[in-house]
Amino acid sequence: MKLATWNVNSLTARWGRVESWLVEHAPDIVLIQETKQSDEKFPFAPLAALGYESAHYGQGQWNGVAILSRVGIEDVRRGFGDEDPEARLIGATCAGLRVYSCYVPNGRALDDPHYAYKLEWLAALARILAERDPTKSVVVGGDFNVAPTDLDCYDPSLFEGATHVSEPERAALRAIEATGLVDLTRQLNPGEPCFTWWDYRSGSFHRGWGLRIDLVYVDEVLLHKATASYVDREARKGEKPSDHAPVVAEFDL
């Protein structure tokens, strides 16, 4: 079973690249972030032609998350509950696995109200994961907008006082891990940076100025069934790429 997570930075702008990537890599389950589409614009039919059922939580101009599955999609949950101001979380059950696609708020700056919203959002995610059905394996993937450790940042000295690396954000990730989850890409690639995002500006990708902020959390059962987790840097190259590369996880179920 092959699962991928990818912040596409507008599915409208990225459709051609996403379609060819799905054909080439043939993942079974795909977690998408930043579709930047309403549900009306989401390409349900073209995805169905590729063999994927889809669930989308769209907002329009900003945010928007989706799950694509070739192995069934049931019990879709959009957001945390009744007072979700932004479309950043969708969950579904695919082939018996509970999967979540997450687009964690950026935070903008440590003194910005959006940073407090980011921490509250991560705490809400930890709460629903703590309350999950413990008999069902879970995958929580997406753009977390947090580099879990300094290894996940190309130059920590440039990020002092910035978002994405602050201690409260990292503690919020540890609270998610404390519900029984493991950062799969890091677990399978100890010591390797495995960056997933590079700023469009300044030729960051070619200079290696990246962060690892797109993460795949799995429970212990799935950890032991995992055979690989890697970043497809090829998808960050060429014409009109997203600023994020897909992260892939493979399991022998």
Partner DNA sequence: ATGTCACAGTCCCTGTGA
Residue 80 contacts DNA per CB under 7 A: no
Nearer to DNA, 108 or 224 (CB): 108
Q: Which segments within the chain are labelled E, that is strand?
A: 2-7, 29-33, 53-57, 65-69, 74-78, 89-94, 97-103, 138-143, 181-183, 197-198, 210-211, 214-219, 226-231, 247-251
Q: Under 8 Å CB-to-CB from 108, ≥6 apart: which residues?
A: 114, 115, 163
Cβ burial of 6 (10 Å; 0-12, 13-18, 19+) is buried
Q: Is 103 a catalytic residue?
A: yes
Q: How far is the CB of 12 from DNA (least distance, A)?
A: 4
Please list, residue by residue across 71-83, b when 16 or more beta carbons sit within 10 angstroms of its beta carbon and e when fewer do: eebeeebbbeeee
Going by C-alpha positions, the residue among 170, 121, 164, 160 that lies closest to residue 145 is 164
Q: Which is nearer to DNA, 72 or 203 (by Cβ)?
A: 203
Please pick, among 28, 143, 183, 214, the residue that the annotation labels catalytic.
Answer: 143
Please state the φ and ψ torsions of residue 102, each to the nearest 5 degrees.
-120, 135
Q: Quick one: which segment of 19-27, 68-76, 127-135, 202-210 binds DNA (CB under 7 A)?
A: 202-210
133 binds DNA (CB under 7 A): no
> Binding segment for DNA among 46-54, 170-178, 194-202, 222-230 (CB under 7 A)?
194-202
Q: Smallest gap, in angstroms, from Cβ of residue 233 to DNA? A: 17
Q: Single out the residue of 110, 130, 158, 171 in contact with DNA (rule: CB under 7 A).
A: 158
| Selected binder of DNA within 45, 61, 161, 167 (CB under 7 A) | 61
In whole angstroms, give the CA distance from residue 74 to residue 166: 36
Decide whether 46 or 180 has the Cβ nearer to DNA.
46
Ranges within 203-242 binding DNA (CB under 7 A): 203-204, 209, 240
Judged by the rule CB under 7 A, the positions of this chain that interact with DNA are: 9-10, 12-14, 36, 60-62, 105-106, 108, 114, 155, 158, 199-204, 209, 240
Q: Which residues are catalytic?
A: 103, 143
